[in-house]
Amino acid sequence: MGCAVLLWCWLLLGCSWGPRPPGVCAAALSTAAYVLDDAGGLGRQFDGIGAVSGGGATSRLLVNYQEPYRSQILDYLFKPNFGASLHILKVEIGGDGQSTDGTEPSHMHYENDENYFRGYEWWLMKEAKTRNPKIKLIGLPWTFPAWIGKGENWPYDYPDVTAYYVVSWILGAKRYHDLDIDYIGIWNERAFSSKYIKNSAGIGSHLLTISQVVAIRKVSVLTVCVHWMRAHYPGTKTVPNALLTKKKLWSSEDYSTFNDEVGAGCWARILNQNYVNGNMTSTIAWNLVASYYEELPFGRCGLMTAQEPWSGHYKVEAPIWITAHTTQFTQPGWSYLQVDGQLEGGGSFVALTDGLGNLTIIIETMTHNHSQCIRPLLPHFSVTPQKATFYLKGSFYMVQTLQVWHSRLGFESGNSSLFQQLHPVKVWKGSFSLYLNVDEVYTLTTLKTGQKCGCPEPPPPQPFPSNYKDDFNIRNPPFSEAPNFADQTGVFEYFINSSDPGDHVFTLRQVVVQRPITWASDADQTISLIGNFQWVNMTVTCDIYIEKQRDGGVFIAGRVDNGGIYVRRTKGVFFWVFADGTYRVTGDLAGEEILMKGLSGVRDNTWHTLTLNIQGTSASGLLNGYPLWENVTVSKPSNGWAAIGTRSFEFAQFDNFHVEAS
């Protein structure tokens, strides 16, 4: 088709804004008109876009970044008009149990124990609030310490105890960190107890004055206690009974998808369609930042990636800029306009207003194969290039100009354009038209505050150091956990050993002594991982101290191949010593695949040094510098992390950890 004919097609349709899809005559495009009018009232109130830290241990490595890189990452997540500019931060209330990619420590390991400085969620909430004082904070437990269940794997038999535990966390947030928690959930993705909900609602001013809100996932007689209703991974749909309640509807955990361009397409689609199809006024991504070892379950399922504190490298992934299309041009408290939201050629749009004359329109045209989330299964649909004409009525009729921000996901071409500001569009007599290609996101807004800010490029990626040492000699650690260790069952914390005036005053101690009320399949042993999953040959050395008499035990390990929700099936090479004076070498964490066993002379309450050497298909072990066993054949796994841990939920200490690997 010649240039003159293409120009004639364009002229026939009138002056439309936006590049027409290449090779497509305007007359061949599907066309439709959409009316944006607030004269008949507004739709539901918008509650914001957010992300989850935890559920679990997803921000574990973030705290170990050095400045300025750590602050740069936080700016991209929370700073208004900078990057993702999130409205909501949801954090795990640590309960000492495995909650997807690790454990997060409880503020009350034991009934008479309270410590509101464990873990990193307090720090993260403060950093978010520093950047955006208006950000909303949500707390949600995945697991609970064992004492709450009093021997049962269930937190609701003693609802007063559970309520006291959760309220203590809320009050601790305020007392020690000056954080007001806006919402509290019940128990992540597990059955709720009506008795517990009623007890929580009736506790009194402690909850009410700091806006604790109880959420349930389905309609019940407890509507008097319920402020909003949540769903996880709803596939943009809401069940009819939830709509009948007239309550706020949220997708309080969604996305959970590898953060490449398909992940960005998933996120763009559900950010719009959760409201268009499901009337959900808030969408919260799991997870905030992929800051955990990538080979753990759901690697890189965060809005951005920050998994190398040792190098300082991080990556601002496409979902950050997809988020910005909504968050930089809306605020909680705005209202959706009453529109159908479905585009004639496929895709969707939403329109929001602050009620003061400002208008923001977000359009997405994600195709099926380029927007599949990890769950649920996405039914087939089609999206084609199209022309859309918008008519502004009511208080928007006098709008003359709209600012334009645009993203195009390139996929196979690799030529993506993310969150680019284009020339403003002129509104003529209350209308304007757009050419929309597939796999695009547009924001059109009266606001002029949007920015795509960027920091200097971070350092290049580097593998975990092949020669790594930690003597844990730190008197006032900024965090309770040692850098780069990723607890998978149990909790390993810095400890001051006041009873040892010698070389082991400052140690790392495993502190969970009863199996928590679990959310996932925690192991029966405790374990903390560290290093590079690709390591093959390695020498691991660590001083160990068994505290449990008679049947206590500890291990060091290499080529550890699993963690997270799959920790029970972990394989590797495990060198165990026990308080009864024996040792074992096993091919698994469960201790069922015995490769070697014998006498060691190890006893409890004495320091010993263990060394595990793995080279090719052979492994050997030293005790206090002397060979204890050797020439054990190991064939699988072929690679994996280093690790430390205990035989059961028991106190034990570790010191002078050292790994050399290749």
Q: Is 204 exposed, middle or buried (0-12, 13-18, 19+ CB in 10 A)?
A: exposed
**What phi and psi, each to the nearest 5 degrees, are found at residue 220?**
-155, 180
Q: Which helix (H) or strand (E) holds 261?
A: helix 261-276
Task: Name which of 536, 518, 542, 545 is nearest 612 in CA terms.
Answer: 542
Contact present, 445 and 360 (Cβ < 8 Å): yes
Active site residue 253: yes
What residues form DSSP beta bridges with 492? 510
Nearest-10 crossing angle of helices 194-201, 159-177:
40
Contact present, 339 and 34 (Cβ < 8 Å): yes
Q: Is 626 exposed, middle or buried (0-12, 13-18, 19+ CB in 10 A)?
A: exposed
Choosing from 152, 189, 294, 630, the catalytic residue is: 189
Active site residue 547: no
Q: Is 137 exposed, middle or buried (0-12, 13-18, 19+ CB in 10 A)?
A: buried
Choosing from 92, 104, 253, 440, the catalytic residue is: 253
DSSP code string of 291-312: -S-TTSTTTT-SSEEEEETTTT
Find the angle CA(340)-CA(395)-CA(359) to the nearest 5 degrees: 60
**What phi and psi, each to the nearest 5 degrees, are found at residue 88?**
-135, 135
Q: Which helix (H) or strand (E) holds 394?
A: none
Contact present, 436 and 17 (Cβ < 8 Å): no
Distance between CA atoms of residues 159 and 167, nearest Å: 12
Q: Is 454 exposed, middle or buried (0-12, 13-18, 19+ CB in 10 A)?
A: exposed
**What phi and psi, each to the nearest 5 degrees, are found at residue 108?**
-140, 85
Catalytic residues: 189, 253
